[in-house]
Chains A and B, each alone.
Chain A
Amino acid sequence: MEEIRPKIKFEQQLKRDFSYKVAETLWGKNVFTCIQCGNCSGVCPTSIYMDYTPRRIVAMVREGLKEDVLKSTTIWLCSSCYSCTAHCPQGIKITDVMYGLKRMAIEEGYYPKNFPIPILAKDFYDMVRENGRITEFVLATKLLIKTGMRRVMAYMPVGMNLWRTGRTSLKKEQISNKGRKELKKLMAFQGGVGR
């Protein structure tokens, strides 16, 4: 049975500073202009799998339901296809809002721990920071191993298909030493937020 707890939040439980923090950023600057038309949820290809649809997420951000938003699967299921951004009559950059919320969720440790999407994002991040480029095959294999041997087996046929068509490569893609030094310097620039 589901745990019994209050289903309604009172005003004093809302984190309005969270709403303002989002609205102050470049990516979330016009969330308060949302008219709740639901265009975003309608065109979203993954909304039927989300626990809250994009329209609800925007409403929840505005009300200050911080934990519910940052713990939701919605932000991770967003495949960033920008349909919502293209359709929003108010010009809200909903995809960028989702990206921003993902970053907040990682920063504040809210992201679901065994969810493969943030794991892949982090592996990707580290691989590029190190080599300047991605070796796709290695990245994918690493992800599958990290998320369970069962998945490695399940993806074997895909690997075989790639092999047959000569599209796998274990050769490490890397840029020059000078390039990597430049990248390292760029990454060390202390203007950015997050890690």
Chain B
Amino acid sequence: MKFAYYPGCSLKGTGRAYEKSLLNLFKALDIELIEIPDWNCCGATFYMSINEEKGLFMTARNLSIAQNMGLDIVAPCSACYLNLLKAVNAIEEGDEVGRKILKALEYANISFDPTYIPEIRHPLEILVDTYGVKKLVKKQVVSLDHLNIVPYYGCLIVRPYTRFDHHTYPTKMDFLFESLGTRVISDYPLKTRCCGGTLTGTIEEIGLELNYLLLKEAIRRGGNVIATICPLCHFNLEMFQDKIERAYGKRYGIPILYFTHIVGKAIGLTDHEIGIDNLLYKPLWGETKREVV
């Protein structure tokens, strides 16, 4: 298996732990990721607020590079994933915006063939559907008995163009962890509730409140680890946790992991390999060696 890897700005910055664990996990599973050379920012949510079309033009440039590589794209960041899908959707529908994207690419002399558009994939979907959970479980060498995982999907990943899971009640991550034999708080009702995104940096009160609700409910349901899928959710829940504790008079200290950390640990990667050093709250794995089935 071979994919064009589109990291996005977060995975090179604050989401470094995500990139480390993803790359090492996929390497261990023999899934080859080749970084898209000279990729540019997807525009995140801000380009939509200022000039949506230009954001989509930029995204289309990445599509074109991946197309020249002849590979499908893996986008681990939720915002990148959504924007890539948005651009693909517009081009496929051939609406006003889609036609404009093609014209803009032509104007900038960027070659692009609209009849063959690379598919946009998410690492979670690749693990569960393409690689397959059965194969993954055969590779498991560590069982993680102490974990009570709260799967938190965040908002952007499942909406509104995603094809791989339900828009408001996704279950892919629950399924993945359950197959690895860990306990999962699968009735966590806030699994797709927004973490506030950049509100923690702009209007802090609102951002803190939204993240407080997420943490409080995770603890109340007996979670001892929150598994995330998005670098921004991870950033908010982890980096603002001490602020939330101070503001609401609580003690949490709950480790926030990426789903790649948990899978990586289960197949026997070391803490260093999956980038646990880059986390603020280290998880207590409570690992036991397990016979390879």
Contact = CB atoms under 8 A, between A and B. Distances in A.
A binds B: yes
A45 B47 CA distance: 22
Interface string B9-52: 11011111100000000000000000000111101111111111
A25 to B, nearest CB: 9
A158 B44 contact: no
Nearest to A100: B52
Nearest to B100: A191
A138 B203 CA distance: 19
Interface in A105-160: 106, 116-118, 120-122, 124-125, 128, 132-137, 140, 143-144, 154-155, 157-158
A187 B51 CA distance: 10
A183 to B, nearest CB: 6
A194 B159 contact: no
Given A125-B46, A183-B61, 15 more contacts: A80-B197, A82-B155, A83-B192, A121-B49, A135-B13, A136-B13, A137-B14, A143-B201, A165-B277, A165-B280, A166-B16, A186-B110, A187-B54, A192-B54, A194-B50
A83 B46 contact: no
25 contacts: A26-B95, A45-B210, A46-B194, A79-B196, A79-B197, A79-B198, A96-B48, A116-B202, A120-B46, A120-B198, A125-B50, A125-B51, A128-B43, A136-B10, A157-B243, A161-B242, A165-B17, A166-B277, A167-B13, A176-B38, A186-B108, A187-B57, A192-B53, A192-B57, A194-B51
Contacts of B50: 102-103, 106, 121-122, 125, 194-195
Contacts of A7: none
Contact of A195 (B48, B51, B97, B159): B51
Contacts of B116: none
A108 B257 CA distance: 43
B103 A191 contact: yes
Q: Classify the interface of chain B: helix, strand, loop or mixed.
A: helix
Give the top 7 A-B pairs by smallest Cβ distance, nearest first: A81-B155, A81-B194, A185-B108, A82-B159, A136-B13, A134-B9, A132-B40
A89 interface: no
Contacts of A82: 155-156, 159-160
A186 B13 contact: no
A182 B194 contact: no
Interface in B174-209: 192-194, 196-199, 201-204, 206
A189 B280 CA distance: 44
Nearest to B48: A99
Contacts of B100: 191-192
Which size class do A's interface residues fall under? 35 or more
B279 interface: yes
B58 interface: yes
Nearest to B167: A86
B126 interface: no
A106 B46 CA distance: 12
Given A124-B46, A183-B40, A189 B13 contact: no
Nearest to A191: B100
Contacts of A173: 9, 12-13
A121 B54 contact: no
B224 to A, nearest CB: 20
B97 A26 contact: yes
Which residue of B45, B192, B242 has the most chain A CB atoms within 10 A of its CB atom?
B45
A76 to B, nearest CB: 9
Contacts of A79: 194, 196-199
Contacts of A86: 159-160, 167-168
B38 A175 contact: yes
Nearest to B193: A45
A167 B16 contact: yes
A191 to B, nearest CB: 4
A132 to B, nearest CB: 4
A49 B206 contact: yes
B291 interface: no
Given A86-B160, A165-B278, A179-B38, A116 B57 contact: no
B272 to A, nearest CB: 12
